[in-house]
Amino acid sequence: VTMNKAHGTHFTDAPDLGIEHVLRGWNPEGGPARHALVVDDVYVRNVPTDIRRFGEMEKDGNSIFIFEVAGLCIGHLGHLHHRLEDAHYGAIGRLDVVMVPIDGGMTLSIDAMTEITTRLYSSLILPMHRHSTPIGEFTGMMGDGFAVEFRPSRSLKVSLRSLPSRPTIVVLEGV
């Protein structure tokens, strides 16, 4: 399980003892969290980011988690609270699929998230945290270089062969 500490609903100090791998996006002992492990056929790694806590930025208090499986590289931006620097993009690498928070308040502004998503230029973009930002605002800001698909499903099957040739924002049912 991966966790960030943006909200009490995003982590626990007492995870179920049956969970073999608990990956915190922060290091409880200080400094950046460092994760790089293989679980079955999935390689999981993180890229440390900063987090906004009580109005201040906490260095390395959060992480972007990246999952490499079946030839795909999948990134979960989590509760991203700052624009990424070149070093972050270099550590992230090429993402085939990216999950992007677009709430525009609890994380970054829509402008900043659009900038990050455009630079990542992933084949599939999955907007999340859609509770406060109209999806049309995000898709409109992404521009003509990105296709948009609305799917009446809460899940999506993806393979290396099924990736679209044009970057596509896929809006699943729900928030």
CA dist 99 and 54 (Å) reads 25
Indicate the pLDDT class of residue 168, thresholds 50, 70 and 90.
Answer: very high
pLDDT tens digits, residue range 93-138?
999 999 998 876 677 788 889 999 999 999 999 998 776 667 888 8
pLDDT tens digits, residue range 45-70?
999 998 877 778 778 888 999 999 99
The answer to whether the beta carbons of residues 77 and 120 sit under 8 Å apart is no
Indicate the pLDDT class of residue 91, thresholds 50, 70 and 90.
Answer: very high
Give CATH superfamily name and number for 2-171.
Ribonuclease Z/Hydroxyacylglutathione hydrolase-like (3.60.15.10)
Per-domain boundaries in the chain: 2-171
Q: What is the pTM of this model?
A: 0.89
